[in-house]
């Protein structure tokens, strides 16, 4: 059994680790959300004809593939 001071020190270190992990996850979520917003904005530009019509199909395919990649990475960050 740990002495009370050691137990409190260990709990404090664990709390610090959790706070760091939370900040890291918040930052990662913000980055991913920014990527998704950019992709959605790009797709919106395509929908409303702000880009050249000749490359629309290819651009839509690229943007959707990019969105899928970002979402897959968000769901499986180890891959």
Say if residue 40's pLDDT is above 70. Answer: yes
50-68: pLDDT as tens digits: 655 556 677 778 888 888 8
Q: Give the global pTM.
A: 0.58
Q: Distance between CA atoms of 44 and 26, rounded to whole angstroms? A: 26
Q: Which of 68, 70, 61 is nearest to 29 (CA)?
A: 70
- For a pLDDT cut of 70, what percent of the chain falls above it? 82
25-38: pLDDT as tens digits: 999 999 888 988 88
Q: Distance between CA atoms of 56 and 46, rounded to whole angstroms? A: 7
Count Cβ atoms below 10 Å from residue 39 Cβ, excluding itself. 20
Q: Distance between CA atoms of 40 and 4, rounded to whole angstroms? A: 53
pLDDT given at position 50: 64
pLDDT given at position 76: 83
């Amino acid at each position: 059994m740990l002495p009370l001071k050691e137990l409190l020190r260990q709990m404090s270190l664990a709390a610090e680790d959790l706070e760091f992990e939370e900040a890291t996850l918040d930052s990662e979520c913000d980055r991913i959300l920014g990527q998704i917003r950019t992709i959605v904005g790009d797709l919106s530009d395509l929908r409303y004809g702000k880009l050249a019509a000749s490359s629309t199909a290819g651009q839509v395919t690229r943007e959707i593939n990019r969105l899928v990649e970002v979402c897959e990475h968000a769901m499986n960050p180890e891959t």
